[in-house]
Amino acid sequence: MSFISINYLIFFPAVVLLYYVLPQKVRMYWLLVAGYYFYMSWNAKYGLLLFASTAVTYLCALGIDHFRTAEEKDAKNPTGGKRLFLSLAIVLNLGLLFYFKYIGFTVESINKVLSATGLSLNIPATDVLLPVGISFYIFQALGYTIDVYRGEVRAERNPFRYALFVSFFPQLVAGPIERSKNLLAQLREERDFDAENARKGLLTMAYGIFMKMVAADSIAAVIDPVFASPGDYSGMMILFASILFSFRIYFDFNGYTQIAIGSARVLGIRLTPNFDTPYMGLSVGDFWRRWHISLTSWFRDYLYIPLGGNRKGKVRKYINTIIVFLLSGLWHGAAWHFVAWGLINGILLIAEDLLKPLKVKADTGLNIRTDDPFYMWVRRFITFFIVTLTWIFFRAGSLPQAVKLIAAIFGDFRPAWFINFEFAKLFADPQAMLGVLVPLGIMVILDIFKAKGKDLTSLVFDRQIVLRWIIYICMALFIIYWGFYGKGYEHTQFIYFQF
């Protein structure tokens, strides 16, 4: 069930209404049922995988907690029980993830390597349907288990509450990847209907719907033909489509996140913010601190730091960085172009760290004010351009195609192309161009406001009632016209559902 479907338009109000009508004691069970119904609406069999991951991590966390309690009583006789149960949870969950997401990729890669060496085993290909959102809820469940192992939280005794933590429908299939200290803690609290939460939640949902249906999908309709047949377009047109894709993936993913955060807010639950104006970043490292925050922090806390982080010298720090970004690329997709995308970002972060002393010397020697607005905007544009080039590896259908796209761009690099408005040829007519550039401009302006510390909901709610309703009506008209009736627009599935 997609957030932008008629089904969700019926499902969500029904869930909210019954949630607040039912007694406090049964609300948790109602949300649990809603979560499984929401997830199984894609494929009823998916519910078994969700249940399996939940059951394994629930029982393993109880086992970890049991042995930790025993160690606390007798510190002189530690047991290996905690590590055994943690290992069991990791192996079984990553085993599920590997089979459903990576078995086909692994078999294909092995066959290619063997073929290149003159061997030909022809291992039969395995075509497994990828369950929607499996990477998200498995990482969330594993994060909880590791937190219990570290003693940061106690194991949740109530199996229904823990199952709800894993299957909470707003963030189940595309995040944010929640931590038990945030979401599970809130699920233990009783709450009544709060008009302010409902008002802000609904506005946040509308903002996300606008971002997805109006901004992201209008861009997709224009750029998808370019990536489908890049040989029919010039290098500069490919670059322009790549720039638009940078915005498309941001609007698409952040649109989902905003709808998720807004849906949870109506239910009185605060989810973790997942984006912080990433394209306002001053460097690639700064971009990654602002992009997909829940995943980036997950890799930091549960992989980078345990590997040693930056505590064991620069060489080890750089190796750890490469490992994290390689796995981050693989997490995003079982294909070599995703691995390359992760590797390139890891190399860029290492390069920034190595060049940092030279940059500081250059800024000092040239008497550059690093807080000067013009200087900061130049850095943002350079960072955006670099990130856009890396997104090509993400968007391309394969690694060879990504290399060809990059080669086409630099083989036909003409900055004057933008000044001459040749990019207008990408659009079928002026209406199509406005359908892309107007929503894009609105979103960029809102991000600039947010980067300046403005609360977007307050910018609306602090207005006079007449102006406030003008904003509501304009947003609704944008969604209805551009979102539903825009010329040639077809709504696509959320990009991150495939991960």
- Give the Å distances, CA to CA, from 397 to 134, 250, 404: 22, 19, 11
DSSP string, 260-276: HHHHHHHTT-PPPP--S
The residue annotated as part of the active site, out of 66, 292, 332, 491, is: 332
How many residues are there in the chain? 499
d(CA 355, CA 361): 10
d(CA 269, CA 31): 12
User: How do the residues of the chain divide into helix, strand and coil, expressed in percent and rounded to 5?
Assistant: 75, 0, 25
Is residue 332 part of the annotated active site? The answer reads yes
SS (H, E, C) 48-99: HHHHHHHHHHHHHHHHHHHHHHHHHHCCCCCCCHHHHHHHHHHHHHHHHHHH
- Contact in structure between 258 and 176 (CB atoms under 8 Å): no
d(CA 273, CA 96): 28
- In the numeric block, the tokens 């997805």 are attached to 212
> Other C-beta atoms within 10 Å of 363: how many?
13
Q: What is the helix (H) or strand (E) element at residue 406, kind and residue range?
A: helix 399-411
d(CA 442, CA 206): 14
d(CA 167, CA 263): 14
- Give the Å distances, CA to CA, from 98 to 21, 128, 235: 42, 11, 37
- Cα atoms in the 13 Å half-sphere on the side-chain side of 123: 16
List active site positions.
Answer: 332
